[in-house]
Structure 1
Amino acid sequence: MKAIIMAGGFGTRLRPLTINIPKPMVPVANLPMMEHVVNLLRLHGFDDIVSLLFFQAEVIKNHFKDGRRFGVKMDYLQPDQDYGTAGAVRYAADFCDETVMVISGDVLTDFDLASAFRFHKEKEGDATILLTRLENPLAYGIVITDADDRITRFMEKPSWGEMFSDTINTGVYILEPATVRMIPPKTNFDFSQNLYPIMLQKNMKLLGRITEGYWRDIGNIEEYSEAHRDILAGRVRLAFGAEKLTQDDAVIYKQPGAEIADGVVFGQTVLLGQKCRIGAGAKIANSIIGDGVVVGEDVQINDAVIWSDTVVDARATIDSAIVTSRVQVGRKASILDKAVVADDCRIGAGATIKANVKVWPGKIVDDGAIVSSSIVWGEKWNRELFTDSKVSGLGLTELTPEMAVKLGAAFGASLGRKQRILTSRDASDASRLLKRSMMCGLMATGVDIDDLEILPTPVLRRALRHGSYAAGIYIRHNPSDYNVVDIIFFDGSGLDLPTAKSKKVERSFINEDYPRASMAETGHLEEQERLFDTYRDDFLETIDQEAVRDARFRIVIDYSYGSAGQFFPEITSALDIDVLGVNAYPNPARAAQHAGAIGEKIHQLGTIVTSLSADLGVIINPSAEKMIVIDEHGRQIDDQLLLLMGLDLYLRTHAAKRIAVPVDASMGVEKIAAGYGVEVKRVRNDHLAMMDAHIRGGADFVGGTRGGFIFPNFQIGSDAMYAIANFLEMMAKTNARLGDLRPLFSNYIRKNVSVPCPWGKKGQVMRTLIMSTEDKERQLIDGVRVFEETGWVLVAPDRLTASFGILAEADSESTVDKIIKQYADLVEQSQD
C-alpha cells in the first residue's frame, strides 16, 4: 500500500533543536521522529512511500536513502515552493494512482493504520481523517461527526469561544485519487482551510474515525519533553530494540554496545543508547541517553534527554533538561529545569545553566559561569513571533533595535523589491526608534517607504485602503501596558495581515532568510506630510456638514493622550462643533490605563458634560479606534446600549440591506432591524470578524459591543473620530439626544455568571453542549448561542480562566435567572 510522508517542516518552535537538522529528523527515543513514522507505516503494510521535502531536504535523503534498510521503498519529491499541506500532496498526484495514506513525518503515534484503512474502504469514503480526543484542542482542527461517521462541522485552530468539540484532526488522512486531483496544482492550498471545506460544501463523503492509541504533535520543546515522559511511562508502543534489565523498581532498556560501570543507580525507566558508557556511581532516572554518550563518575541525570556523542564529565548534574549532540558538559557543571543546550556547545567546569535557558549551537560557557538568560545567535526570538497580526514585546528589551532591523528585513523580503509601504507610529521616542530600525531592514531589502510620522491608526488604515501600497506598519505602546510595544502589520488593503503572510515573515525572520538589495535597488524613504489632509477632506465629503453645523453641537472629548488630539480638532472645527478637549496632547506613558483609572475618567467627564450643558462626552482610546460615550445628563452609555442607539439612528437616516453585530449583542438589534426590513448577521466578537462582515459579507453598518463602529462608506475598520461625526450627524438629522433615547432601549435584562471548569474539561463540555442543543435554534459563532423562551443564552469557555461564561438576555429577570440556572447546571454536569 502507498503512503505520503509530509516531511517539510521547519521546526521553528523547536529551536534550537532544529538549527542543524529538519524537524522530522529530531531524535525521539534515539531515533529520528520520521523513522518512527516509517516503522509504523511498514508495520501496517504501507511499504511504498513518497516523502515530500522542503527544508534541509538532503539530511532526510541521506538518512533514508532508497528505504531498503528500513524495509520500504522510499522516493522523494521536493516542491519548488511552499504550496501548503494539500498543495504539497497535489505535487505527488502521479504517485496517487490508488488510495493513499498521508501522514506527517513529525508526529509520534501508534495508531492502527491498517484498521483505519479498512474503515475507509468499507465506508467508501472520498477522504477519511483520523481523529482523537484531547483535553485542550485549541491548537488543532476540531471536528464533529454524525452517526454515520461523516464529518458535519470542521474548524481549524479555534479560539475558546469557537471550540465546539474536543475531537481533533490528527493530520493523518486517507485519500482517494479523485480527491487528490481536486487540489489545484502549484497553488497554496491547505487541507483544513481549503480542501475539506469544499468537500463539505459539495456533500462529499468526508469521514472521521476516532482512533484509539497514542498521538502527539511534537510542536515545541514542552511537547518534546512530554513525549519522552510518555515513552518512558509506556503510554506509547515503541520498539526500542534493546535488552530489558531491572534494578529494584527501575527498568533499563540497554541498546547494543551500551556499557554500565559498577555502582550505577537507576530510577524509574531509562533508555541507554548504542555504545554509550555510564561511569561508576552515576545516578540516572527517567531519562534517555543517546548513542555514544559518555557519562562520567557520580553524574546525576534526572528526567533528561541527551542526544548522541555528548560527554558529561564527573559529578555534573542534568535535571529535567535537554542536551543535544556533541556537547561537552564540564566537571560539576549543572544544567537545570527545562534548559536546552544545543549541538557542539562547551559548558565549562562548575558552570550553571539555569532553568528555562536555551543555549544555541557552538556556544562556549566559561568555567564557573552562571547563565540565567538564553545565549543565542544575535537576538533570536524564542517563541512564536506573531500574535495575529502583531509582534509584541517589552520595548528595547525584547523588541530591540537590532531585532527590529531583522524583522523589517524579513517583512521586506516577503513583499519583494520595489514594493512601497506606509509606516506610522504613536508619539513615543521608543516607537520612533523601533520604526526607524525597521525602516533600515525594509530599505535594505529594496522596499520603498512612505512615512506618515505620528498619526492615529485609522488614518493609516484608510490610506492603505485607498492608496497603491503593498502593506503598512504601525508601532505603538500597548494600550494596557506602557512597557510593551506593539508592531502592527497591515496588508495593502488596510486589513490586518493574514496569518499565512505573517507565518511567511516569521519563517524568514527565524531563518535569517532575507536577501539584501543591490546598491541600485536600495529602498527609498519619503515623508508624506499631506496624507492626513486627504483623510480630512474625504472624511468631510462623506458627512452632511450643513446638518452638523446647523445643530451647533457642544461636546467634550477626552483624547486619552493619543495622537487624535493633534488632528481631530481640524475636523471638528470645520464642522463648527464646539469642543472642549482634555488630555489632548500625546503622552504614551499616560495613555495606558487600568480599568479603575478609566472609571475615574468617566466620572470626571460626566461632571464636565453636565457643568457645560454639553450635548455629549466621548473618551477616545489612544489608537482612536474605540470610544466610550457620556450622554447629556453625564451618564455613561454602556456599550450594548450605545450599539442599539447607534443602530436605530443609522437605520432612521440611511437605506441599508444588511448590518452586522457581534454574537453577544442584545436581541434588541434584531427587533430594531426588523422594523426596517434589514438583515442581521452575527459575527465573532473581534475586529477582524467585524471588518470581514463588510468586506466579504456586504454589511452596510457594523456595530461592536466594545465601543467600536465601522461605517463602510468611509472606513474599513473601527474609527472613533468618524463614529463621533456620524453620531452627531444622525442626531442632527433626527433631532435626537442620546439621553432621550435611553428609555427606548433599556427594557432588556442581561446577566452573566461564571461556572468553574478545569481547562482539560472544556472541550468535553463544549461537545456535550453541542449534542444537547441539536434540536434547538442556535448559533455556533463564538461559543454556543441558544434561543430559549423569550430570550437567549450564550455559553462559551473563558479564554483566560478555568471557567465557562454564561450570558443570558430576556425581557424579564425571572426568565434570565431560569435560563442561567439551566445552562449552569448543564456545564457542571458535563464535566462528569
Structure 2
Amino acid sequence: MQAVILAGERGAPLYPLTARTPRAMLPIVAKPLIQYSLELLTRHQINDVLLCLQVLPEVFESRFEDGRALGLNLRYHREQVPLGTAGAVRAVSDRTVGKSILVLNGHVLTDADLSALIAFHDEKEAAVTLLLARVPDASAYGAVVRDAEGRVLAFSEKPPVGEVATDTINAGVYVIRRDILRRIPVGTEFSFERQLFPQLVAEGIPVYGFLAEESYWRSITTLNDYQRAQSDVLEQRVVAKIEGVEVREGVWVGEGATIHPTAEIRGRVFLNHHTEVGRDAKIRGTVVVGSRCQIGEGALIEDSVIWRGCVLEELTEVRGSILGSHCTVRQGARIRPGAVVGADAVIASVVAHLPSQTEFQRAGIRFGTDGWRGILADDVTVENIRLLTQALCDWVKADAVPGEGVVVGYDTRSQSDLLARAAAEVVAANGLRARLSRDPCPSPAVSFACRFFGAAAGIVITASHNPATFSGLKVKAHYGGPASPQMTARIEEKLRELLMSGGGARTEGGTVEVIDLAVPYLAHCARFVDLTQIARAGLVVVDALHGATAGYLPRLLNPAGGHVQELRAERNPAFGGVTPDPTPENLDALFLAVPTAQAALGLAFDCDGDRLGACDATGAFVDAHKLFALLLRHLVRARGATGSVVRTVSTTRMVDKLCAAYSLPLSETPIGFKFLSAKMLEGDILIAGEESGGFGVAGHLPERDAILSALLLLEALALSGCSLTELLAELVAEVGEHEYVRINLRPTPAQMRRIHTALQSFKETHFAGAEIAAIRRRDGTRLDFTDGSWLLIRPSGTEPLVRVYAEAATRSRARELTSAGVSFIVSY
C-alpha cells in the first residue's frame, strides 16, 4: 500500500515557531514531527510515500531528499494553491496505484497499529476507514459515532460544546478506496472532514472507524500540544526511537555532547549532538536542547524546549519556555514561564508573556525546604490546592506508594478548613480513602496519623511559622515524616504533566471521613513520657500563638495533676498582629505572663506545632540551640538512651561537645528537616535538631514535633528536680558558654551572583581576626575557627537573600563575626 502525508499547512497557532518552519517540520526531541510518521510507516512495511506540500516545500526536500536514509521511496507534490485535505489527495491520486491508499496528517503524532487498521479496512470491505482516538472533549475535533460493528453512524467536525454524543474522534489517519477519490472535484478546495466523510455517511456508503485503544495519539495544534509532545516522547508514552545514548534513566545525550561534572541534570532530558553544558549548570524537569547549543556556567533550564544553535550565557534562566533556533540569552537574563521566542533573538534582560492570574498562580507551585507556601487567595487558592492534591494522588497511584489513602489536616489560618476540605474531596474523587481532621491540628498529628492509619500520604494545609497573609501545603510520607525531596519532585512532575495536558482535578465522587486526629496522637505522647512526674514540674504557661497546638498540652497534663495556663489559645487567623513563630519578638505576652504567674517556665509553639520556644521563670528567652543540648542531656543522662545524633550545618556546637563526652556518633546535614528525617530513616538516630527549634527523637517519628519536645523538656525538669535556669547552668559547666547570632540581608540579584562567586573562591586562612581551621561548603560557606567559633554565610538559591549565622563563646564575639560576614557581603 502507498501512503500520502498531508503536510502543507504552516500552522498559524504555533507562531513564531512556524515563521520559518512548517508545522510538520517542527522538532520534537530533535526530529521533525513528520519523521515520526515516516518511521511509523517503515515499521509497517509501507515504503512508498508521497508528501503533499505547500508552505516552504524546500525544507522537507532538503531534509529527506529521496527518503533512502529512512528506507523509503519518498516523492513530493507542491501545491500551487490550497486545495484542502481531500483536494490535495485528489490532486495526487493519479500518482498512486492499488485499490486503496493510506492518508496521514503531518501534524499528528501517533504510534497506531497501521497494519491492524488496514486489515480492519479490508475485512469490512469499507470505502473509507478512519483511525479513531478517545479524548476527554471531542468538541475540538471531528466527533465520530459508530455502531457495535464499527460502522460510522454520524460524523461532525468540531461540534459545539454540549452537543457531543461521543468521546471518539477522527484521528487524522485514513484508509481510502481510490475510486472514492473520484467524487472529489479536480482543482477545487475540498475537505475530508467537513464535506466528503459526512456525504458518504449520509448516502449509506460504508465508512468504518477503527479505535486505537492502546495507541498514543496527539494532534500538534497549539504551543501547549507542541511542548506536551516533547514530554510524551521523553517519557516514552509514544513508541518512537529517541536519538542518542541514554546515559541514565530518562537522560539522552547525542554524539559529541559534553556535560561538565558539576552540572546537575534531573528529570527527562534530551541533549542533542555537540551541545555543551557548562560548570554548575542546572537542567530540570522535561527539557529538550537542540544540537550545537552552549549552556553557560550556572545557567538554569527548567521544563523548556531549546532549538539548535542557542547560546545561554552564564547565570541565565529559562523556565517553562520555548526558544527558536540560534537565540542568544545574555548573562544573567531570565526567560519566565510561558515565553515563546522566535529564531535569532537576543535576550538581554527578562522575557515574560502576560499570564492570566491562574497561570501566574500555578507557575508558583514549587516545594521549598518545607512544603509549598504562598500568599493566601493570590497563590494559595482552592483551585491550586485541588491541582496539587490531584498531582499527589496521581503520584500515589503511579508509584504504588505504600499505604491506604491520604490523611488531611489543617492549621488555624483563614480558609485552612475550606482548603483542607477541598483537598480531601479530591482525594476521595480519585478513589482513595480520604480522612479529614475534624479540627485544626498540628503537623506532627498528621504525620503520626499516616503511621497510625497506614496511610500512603498526609496533607497539612499550613504556612507553619509564616505571617497571617500566607498559607500553603505540606506533604507527609507514609513513614510519618516529611516527604523526601525525591517524593516532592515526583509530585511536581505529576503537576507539570497535569498542567501541560490541560487537565484538572477530580472533585466528584467518593466519601470524606471526618475524624479526630488528636486522640491517637495524644495517646501516643502520653505513653512516651511520664506524665505523673511531669505534673510535679509546677505551673507551665503555654503560648499557642493562636495556632493549632491550642488545647493539646492541657489535655495531656491537667488530667495527670499538672497545671497548664494557656495564652492566645483562641482561633485568630490574624494571630493578634504577630507572626506565629516562637521567637523573642513574638513572645512578649509569654515573657510577661510567666513571672507574673510565678510559673516554672514558659513554652511556645509555632502555628502548626513543629517549632518550640521557651523562657525560664524570669521570662528570659531560651534559644533552640540550648533546648537541643538540654534534650540530648536528658535523653542520655536521665533516660539512659544511646544512638547517633544529627544536626544541620547552622546548629550549635554544644551538641558536638556533648556527643564527644557521651561517645555518641554525630553527623551533619544541610538545612531543612527533610534531610534530618532522611537520616532518622537510615539508622539509629537518638535525636535530630535544627536551629529553628525543630527536634525529632528516637521511638517517636522521623519528624520534628514541638509538643513531644516540650514534654521531654518538662520531664527533664521534673526528674532532675532543677529549674530551667539551673539546668542551663549545668549545661554551661559541661560545655562552656555558647552564644548565637543570625542576620538576614537582601542584596540585589547582581550582587547575589558576585557573592556566590566570591564564596566559592574564598580560600583565606584568617578572617575577622581569627585563624580558620576549615572551610566547609555543605550548605553555604562555613568558616570553622580554631577557637571553636564559626561563621556561616548562606545565600538563598531561590531569592535575593543571604543569611549570616555565627556562634562564639560570647555574644559580642558572635556579633563581631556576623558583622565581618556582612561587610564581606556588602563589599560585592
TM bin, normalised by shorter chain, reads 0.5 to 0.7
Range with greater deviation from structure 2 (214-223 or 487-496): 214-223
Matched, 1:132 2:299: no
1:758 alignment partner in structure 2: 751
**C-alpha distance in 1, partners of 2:328/2:447?**
48
For 1:189-268, what aligned pairs fall within 5 Å after superposition? 219-220=318-319, 224=323, 228=327, 230=329
Shift of 1:728: 1.0
2:559 partner letter: A
8 Å contact kept, 1:480–1:592: no
1:500 alignment partner in structure 2: 489
Structure 1 residues 431 and 104: alpha-carbon distance in aligned structure 2, compared to 1, 3 A threshold: farther
| Match for residue 659 of structure 1 among 642, 645, 668 | 645
| Match for residue 692 of structure 1 among 648, 658, 678 | 678
2:794 alignment partner in structure 1: 797
1:737 alignment partner in structure 2: 723
| Match for residue 406 of structure 2 among 412, 421, 440 | 421
2:512 alignment partner in structure 1: 525
1:748 alignment partner in structure 2: 738
Matched, 1:463 2:449: yes
1:703 partner letter: G
Shift of 1:526: 1.8
Matched, 1:381 2:381: no
8 Å contact kept, 2:312–2:328: no
Shift of 1:447: 1.8
1:557 alignment partner in structure 2: 542
Shift of 1:462: 0.7
Q: TM-score, normalised by structure 1?
A: 0.57
**C-alpha distance in 2, partners of 1:637/1:818?**
22
Q: CA RMSD in A?
A: 5.7
**C-alpha distance in 1, partners of 2:316/2:234?**
15
| Match for residue 564 of structure 2 among 554, 579, 600 | 579
Q: Indicate the SS of the match to 1:717.
A: coil
1:472 partner letter: G
**C-alpha distance in 2, partners of 1:724/1:112?**
59
Deviations for 1:202-234, whole angstroms, at most 9, x for unmatched residues?
xxxxxxxxx999689874268959984649x9x
2:758 partner letter: V
2:620 alignment partner in structure 1: 635
> How many residues are matched?
584
Shift of 1:338: 5.5
Shift of 1:552: 4.4
Q: Indicate the SS of the match to 1:622.
A: coil
Structure 1 residues 684 and 71: alpha-carbon distance in aligned structure 2, compared to 1, 3 A threshold: farther
**C-alpha distance in 2, partners of 1:820/1:398?**
34
Structure 1 residues 587 and 712: alpha-carbon distance in aligned structure 2, compared to 1, 3 A threshold: farther
Structure 1 residues 64 and 737: alpha-carbon distance in aligned structure 2, compared to 1, 3 A threshold: farther
Matched, 1:783 2:776: no
8 Å contact kept, 1:409–1:514: no
**C-alpha distance in 2, partners of 1:719/1:754?**
26
2:617 partner letter: E
8 Å contact kept, 2:582–2:606: no
Q: Indicate the SS of the match to 2:595.
A: helix
1:510 partner letter: L
**C-alpha distance in 1, partners of 2:68/2:788?**
61
**C-alpha distance in 1, partners of 2:684/2:382?**
41
8 Å contact kept, 1:29–1:228: no
For 1:435-454, what aligned pairs fall within 5 Å after superposition? 435-454=420-439
1:759 partner letter: M
2:553 alignment partner in structure 1: 568
Structure 1 residues 464 and 735: alpha-carbon distance in aligned structure 2, compared to 1, 3 A threshold: same
Shift of 1:36: 12
Deviations for 1:444-481, whole angstroms, at most 9, x for unmatched residues?
22222122222222111111123311111122366433
Shift of 1:493: 2.1
Q: Which blocks of at least 5 consecutive residues in structure 1 are unaligned?
A: 1-17, 40-48, 51-61, 106-110, 118-127, 142-165, 172-210, 237-302, 309-318, 323-336, 341-356, 359-372
8 Å contact kept, 1:791–1:810: yes
Shift of 1:786: 3.5
**C-alpha distance in 1, partners of 2:396/2:246?**
38
Deviations for 1:624-669, whole angstroms, at most 9, x for unmatched residues?
1112101012211122222223322332223222111221222222
8 Å contact kept, 1:449–1:526: yes
2:738 partner letter: Y
8 Å contact kept, 1:410–1:512: no
Structure 1 residues 664 and 678: alpha-carbon distance in aligned structure 2, compared to 1, 3 A threshold: same
2:603 partner letter: V
Shift of 1:492: 2.0
Shift of 1:374: 4.9
8 Å contact kept, 2:791–2:818: no
Q: Which blocks of at least 5 consecutive residues in structure 2 are unaligned?
A: 1-10, 32-38, 41-52, 54-58, 72-108, 112-214, 217-229, 262-273, 286-295, 302-309, 334-338
**C-alpha distance in 2, partners of 1:19/1:628?**
61
Structure 1 residues 779 and 446: alpha-carbon distance in aligned structure 2, compared to 1, 3 A threshold: same
8 Å contact kept, 2:424–2:435: no
1:296 alignment partner in structure 2: none
For 1:333-482, what aligned pairs fall within 5 Å after superposition? 340=353, 357-358=354-355, 373-374=356-357, 381-387=362-368, 390-416=371-397, 419-427=404-412, 430-454=415-439, 455-476=441-462, 479-482=465-468
Deviations for 1:31-82, whole angstroms, at most 9, x for unmatched residues?
999869969xxxxxxxxx99xxxxxxxxxxx999996469996899999999
* Percent pairwise identity: 16
**C-alpha distance in 2, partners of 1:28/1:502?**
36
Q: Which structure is larger by alpha-carbon Rg, 1 or 2?
A: 2
1:509 alignment partner in structure 2: 498
**C-alpha distance in 2, partners of 1:386/1:667?**
30
